[in-house]
Amino acid sequence: METQLGDATGSSKYSQFYGEPYYNTYMASYRSDGLRVYARVDMPPTEMPADGYPVIIFTHGWIGADDALKYGFNYAEQAHYGDQLDTWVKAGYVVLMPGFRGHGTVKGVPAEGLEYIQAYDNGSYLSPMFYAIDILNFLEGVGTLNEVAWQKWGLASAKDVRVDSKRIYLTGHSQGGDAALTALVVSSSPNLKNTFAAASIWNGCLEGRIEQGAFYGPQETSSEAVKDASYFPMMPSSWDKTRYSGSIADGIAKKKSQMYETIKTYVVDQANADPATNSLVSIMATLDAHKYPQYIKAPLDLHYSNMDYYSIPAWNESLVRMVRATGGTARAYLYPGNTHELQVDANAPAGSVAGRPIAIERTIQLFNTTCARR
């Protein structure tokens, strides 16, 4: 543990906003790929079950290199993920939120690994691959929570605090959903000590690196894409339409060029990658988690909307079909008229219902009814 957020009773502007019962929140550090990275730790105010507290690992969405080291782990009133984290910890879960490499600064010490974000983020969509490594290292270290001197850290009646390693659950949003899916696939390996009992992904960026580039590239630049509902089922009011120009094909070509230049610059043995021959397509495809549905052993729920411009229904529905085809368990929940945050969009059809509180409860229901088995 590095520090406690709020006072010894768990009281702070954050906890006062969400209301009692208060609970203790900490910042911890751990090692991933030799890097010092941070995680938020919320301890539930409820009585511990006989086998120890169940655990939720939550993976946050995109922050960006410019803001990564300033990331505050959503410990603020009306925080972006505050309603989720607060509900889950009050439901009796230890809630853990890894910041990923390069995210956050604790006691004046920045997380290590910012260079990965600067190199790989929106140029190649490879950042989630590194974040998946951070998740898996975090997963393997969950049991170290049983070694913490919790009474020293102000946790009341903490003598026998334990976590249940058979009830570790995974949930993530947006880019964090991309990283979570990769971690979920790899976590079925018998070489790992721990695995996930179930997973719930919200508006995840679930497609492969190449496909994401072809989709998001026109969204960043093309005036044609702005008018195309397949790219923009709704146009965010904060985005300036006047900065867009060119065709969808131009947007794809620009992103393809950016992806190749990024990989040629930073990846060993790829200095000669050739966009003319699409030399990276088959290599990049080996990194795409949705190509390995047979390794998704834990029950998986996907939550998404039809007005989101980052996680389209086709990606979510395709993954559910593939998991089911291999004998796995997957469910798709569509929230019509909702945004990327599963809230009702201002331009949504009349009668649209906010999916966010429903998805929070559905996630708890899934996790309450599943336990990991090797």
Q: Are residues 124 and 70 in the same domain?
A: yes
How far is the CA of 78 from the CAs of 20, 25, 131, 136, in angstroms? 15, 16, 26, 29
Tell whether 330 and 247 lie within a shared domain: no
* Whether 177 and 257 share a structural domain: no
Is residue 138, in this structure, part of any structural domain at all?
Answer: yes
Q: Are residues 102 and 198 in the same domain?
A: yes
Cβ contacts of residue 179 below 8 Å, gap of 6+? 59, 100, 128, 129, 131, 132, 134, 135, 172
> Can you list the positions of beta strands (E) in the chain?
3-5, 24-32, 35-43, 53-59, 94-98, 105-106, 109-110, 163-173, 198-202, 300-305, 330-335
Last residue of a domain, one of 224, 257, 285: 285
Q: Tens of pLDDT along the chain (374 residues)?
A: 999 998 888 889 999 999 999 999 999 999 999 999 999 999 999 999 999 999 999 999 999 999 999 999 999 998 999 999 999 999 999 999 999 999 999 999 999 999 999 999 988 999 999 999 999 999 999 999 999 988 888 776 566 789 999 999 999 999 999 999 999 999 999 999 999 999 999 999 999 999 999 999 999 889 999 889 889 887 776 677 778 888 999 999 999 999 999 999 999 999 999 999 999 999 999 999 999 999 999 999 999 999 998 999 999 999 999 999 999 999 999 999 999 999 998 888 899 999 999 999 999 999 999 987 65
Are both 246 and 359 inside the same structural domain? no
On whether both 183 and 271 belong to a single domain, the answer is: no
Angle between helices 209-221 and 114-124 (to 10 degrees): 80
Task: Give 225-266 pLDDT, tens digit per residue.
Answer: 988 988 988 777 667 777 888 899 999 999 999 999 999 999
CA atoms of 29 and 35, how far apart (whole Å)? 10
Q: Is residue 20 part of a domain?
A: yes
Evaluate whether residue 374 is within a structural domain.
no
Count up the domains in the chain and report the number. Answer: 2
Position 373 in a domain: no
Residues 69 and 152 in one domain: yes
At 335, give phi and psi (nearest 5°): -115, 95
**Two structure tokens written together for 37:** 């990275």
Query: Considering the chain, what is the average pLDDT of its residues?
Result: 93
DSSP 8-state assignment for residue 342: S
pLDDT digits (tens, 9 = 90+) for 58-87: 999 999 999 999 999 999 998 999 999 999
Euclidean distance between CA atoms 185 and 181, whole angstroms: 6
On whether residue 77 sits in a domain, the answer given is yes
Judgement on whether residues 199 and 272 belong to the same structural domain of the protein: no
Total length of the chain: 374
Q: Are residues 264 and 188 located together in one domain of the fold? A: no
Q: Using only C-alpha atoms, what is the Rg of the chain?
A: 21
Q: Say how far apart CA 31 and CA 137 lie, in whole Å.
A: 8
CATH (domain of 53): 3.40.50.1820
Same structural domain, 232 and 355: no
Residues 172 and 244 in one domain: no
Q: What is the dihedral of CA 9, 71, 84, 129, to 10 degrees?
A: -130
Domain enclosing residue 218, as ranges: 210-285
Q: Are 44 and 120 in the same domain?
A: yes
Distance CA 264, CA 277 (A): 14
